Amino acid sequence: MELKASLSSQDTHKCLLLGDSGVGKTTFLRRHATGHFKDTHKLTKGVQVHTLLLQTNYQDLALELWEVAGDERHGGLCDGYFFFAKCAIIMFDLSVESTALSVARWLRSFERICGKQFPVIVCGNKADLKRMPRQLCYRQQPSFDYCELSARAAWNLEAPLELLSRQLLQRRSLKLISQPIFKPKVGCSFNEDEMQQQMKVVHEIALPELIEDADESEEYYMEDTIILN
């Protein structure tokens, strides 16, 4: 592909796609790689890598997305997959609270192995489903952006990639300029206006400032999560 040939190793970023099993990581990758959606869930074993070529209004870049198997986070094996990663997308399922609570653990694993200096995007998938009773909302931080999407409804699929590209290239006004056309899964009913409204609420309740010294605490990222009833 022409775009790939013109990209240097400097423009290629290894990105970990992390999150509990079943949150939709493979589906997200498949959507970007092929445009297709499947209802089946097959456990990803080990690691799966897809390179996504992105065109932005500043420059082109390649994201090498590594999906690391969800159930192996405590095994030594997966540490090796993390090496040389320059960023991460941590995904959870908007309809399953335990997957949102796991975000903190995934973040700690990433920071333990890769360091704290790299961008991380947290994203809630399955926005087409009924949300978990308690919504979780993440504090806004320079290196901790948040977005919601639905791989099934093909809604907002490019959002985590755009947020990540902004941080990697340090361009706040960066926009993706070429995106594949995704079609929602047939029979998937999804109210985009309602979704936009929910996102507005999420952004309004996100706290703007960090709690002082909070990053010294073991449970920092848990504290960083607001639980709404």
Ligand X SMILES: Nc1nc2c(ncn2[C@@H]2O[C@H](COP(=O)(O)OP(=O)(O)O)[C@@H](O)[C@H]2O)c(=O)[nH]1
Kindly tell me which of 62 and 91 has the beta carbon lying closer to Mg ion: 91
End-to-end CA distance of the chain: 49
Kindly tell me which of 23 and 164 has the beta carbon lying closer to ligand X: 23
Rg (CA), the chain: 17
Kindly tell me which of 21 and 140 has the beta carbon lying closer to ligand X: 21
Residues at the site binding ligand X, with contacts judged by CB under 6 A? 19, 21-27, 38-41, 44, 70, 125-126, 128-129, 150-152
Q: In angstroms, what is the minimal distance from the CB of 201 to ligand X?
A: 20
Q: In angstroms, what is the minimal distance from the CB of 112 to ligand X?
A: 21
Q: Does 27 bind Mg ion (CB under 5 A)?
A: no
Tokens of 13: 């970023």
Cβ atoms of 147 and 164 within 8 Å: the answer is: no
Residue type, 41: H
Q: Does 167 bind Mg ion (CB under 5 A)?
A: no
Looking at residue 35, what DSSP letter applies?
S
Kindly tell me which of 19 and 119 has the beta carbon lying closer to ligand X: 19
- The DSSP line for 218-229 is TTHHHHTEEEE-
Q: Does 109 bind Mg ion (CB under 5 A)?
A: no
Residue type, 110: F
**Residue of 21, 209, 33 lying closest to 98 (CA atoms):** 21
Q: Does 44 bind Mg ion (CB under 5 A)?
A: yes
**Residue of 4, 13, 6, 42 lying closest to 169 (CA atoms):** 13
Q: Which does 109 bind (CB under 5 to 8 A by kind): Mg ion, ligand X, none?
A: none
Q: Which of 14, 24, 26, 125 binds Mg ion (CB under 5 A)?
A: 26
Compute the distance between CA of residue 13 and CA of residue 54 in angstroms, rounded to an integer.
11
User: From residue 64 to residue 103, what is the string marking binding to Mg ion with x (rule CB under 5 A)?
Assistant: ----------------------------------------
Handedness of CA 82, 87, 90, 91 (dihedral sign): negative
Q: Does 125 bind Mg ion (CB under 5 A)?
A: no
Kindly tell me which of 174 and 195 has the beta carbon lying closer to ligand X: 195
Q: Which stretch binds Mg ion (CB under 5 A): 21-29, 110-118, 165-173, 188-196?
A: 21-29
Kindly tell me which of 48 and 55 has the beta carbon lying closer to ligand X: 48
Q: Which residues, at least 6 apart from 174, have a Cβ–Cβ distance to it below 8 Å?
A: 56, 57, 58, 162, 165, 166
Residues that bind Mg ion (CB under 5 A): 25-26, 44
